[in-house]
Structure 1
Amino acid sequence: MAGLLMLGLSACADTLDTRVTRFQSQLPAPQGQTFAVVADDPSLAGGIEFGQYAKIVAGELTKKGYTEAVTPDAANLIVRFSYGVDKGRVHVRSTGMRDPFWGPWYGPGFRRGGFYGGGFYGRPYMMGGWGYGWYDPWFDQGVESYTVYTSGISVKIDDKSANKRVFEGKAEAASASNKLTWLVPNLVEAFFTGFPGNSGETLRITVAPEKTTVKGPAK
């Protein structure tokens, strides 16, 4: 993790390193099964932004062979989706020193404003490529400062006919971007890579970094 951070601070990130954990119990195979994506957080329900991300989740499930229902009432499977990003934390690091923040995935879950204990708290969130750091000339002795945002998504699937949960999982990441419009789609992509996966397995999956545009002088 420390090596990935240093690579990101040296220039621009090559990948977004995402941790994906999934659990399943008798998830129905995609044989005529229909689904509907709903907001796991009631405050997101009916929002235009949530609707945009829900379409991405629905698209991934459709690729896996499931069929989207017209309404949740008509669906066999209810997919509860949530996302979020915290306010970020500024870190200062001497060149060559390891930042303790970048320990093995910064603890069991996102704390304030993030994913923890199976749900998201605070406003919705998202994320981008590894450690886009910058050098602050106010510091000397090769000291760098950077802001780290933690973000993630949560997906839970309930089987209405069996009246029980059959799948749940999350994708988590840390980066210097807090742009939901870029982060959520990439976290969703990572989450559905190899879906549904092996129950209880945690994987590290990388996706492309956020692209930046360098503008020249106006003419």
Structure 2
Amino acid sequence: MPSLKTIARAALPVALALGLSACATTPFRADVSRFAVPLPAPQGQTFAVVAEDPKLAGGLEFATYANAVAAELNQLGYARAASPEVADMLVRFDYRVDNGRERVRTTPGAIGIGAGRWGPWGPWGGWGNGFGGWGYGFNDPFFGGPDVRSYTVFTSGVDVKIDRRADGQRLFEGKAEAVSRSNRLPNLVPNLVDALFTDFPGNSGETVRITIREDEKTVRPAN
């Protein structure tokens, strides 16, 4: 009959594999809505990123996120102006994250290592092999009833509005919003900006789900 130590060693690789799977990075997903009229061709057109909220203007945090917006427009062929006063287009930018709300998740059973008993496939109530003692499996009495967990989720978002400076005509409006377990704007805002400028300017009036794969560092429309 195998010893308890032997059984525990056999169960350990399974436990580690399940633990690593649970810790895998979750892709960042954002809902993106955009409205636009035909934008001027990039050749010779300049822009300046300005704060939609005057309280953000001049801040180092805003400047960091504004640089992310500017980088996206540079890739499209537009040039950053020396100042808003001489720019062809004013890009009004805003960002936010709320105070969060609680969610409760309940799962009917747990997986773990604990004292077992006879069950459908053996003494562990799970993946038993006919031996008594400790086991790894489902419906493990060591864990009792259902697993109930409470956690906080936050809604974050960015807004971009592009106006022609000469006459104030609105050329583009877009927003990207995401629900996540993080409220750290330095991590959220670059992803939201990335999502907003995917396939820019998009189809006017359409809302799409954009997924950012952390392992590949790419952005693509979700299926």
Which of the numbers 143, 148, 164 marks the counterpart of 1:143? 148
* Partners of 2:79 and 2:153 in 1: CA distance: 38
1:37 is matched with which residue? 49
1:202 is matched with which residue? 207
Q: Deviations over 1:123-180 (max 9, x none)?
A: xxxxxxxxxxxxxxxx952112111000000000001224211100000000001111
Q: Given the two structures, how large is their TM-score scaled by the length of structure 1?
A: 0.69
Which of the numbers 24, 38, 54 marks the counterpart of 2:36? 24
Relative contact order, CA 8 A, sep 6+: which one is greater? 1
Structure 2: stretches of 5+ with no match in the other structure: 1-20, 109-143, 216-223
1:65 is matched with which residue? 77
2:218 is matched with which residue? none
Q: Given the two structures, how large is their TM-score scaled by the length of structure 2?
A: 0.68
Structure 1: stretches of 5+ with no match in the other structure: 1-8, 97-138, 211-219
Identity %: 56
Q: Does 1:187 align with 2:184?
A: no
Following TM superposition, by how much is the alpha carbon of 1:48 offset from its aligned partner in structure 2, in angstroms? 0.5
> 1:26 and 1:207, CA in 2 relative to 1: closer, same or farther beyond 3 A?
same
* Partners of 1:193 and 1:11 in 2: CA distance: 28
Deviation >4 Å, runs of 4+:
none
Which of the numbers 72, 77, 86 marks the counterpart of 2:89? 77
Q: Deviations over 1:67-121 (max 9, x none)?
A: 000000010000000001011112112226xxxxxxxxxxxxxxxxxxxxxxxxx
| Number of aligned residues | 160
Q: Does 1:164 align with 2:169?
A: yes
Q: Deviations over 1:28-71 (max 9, x none)?
A: 12121100000001110110100010011001000000000000
2:27 is matched with which residue? 15
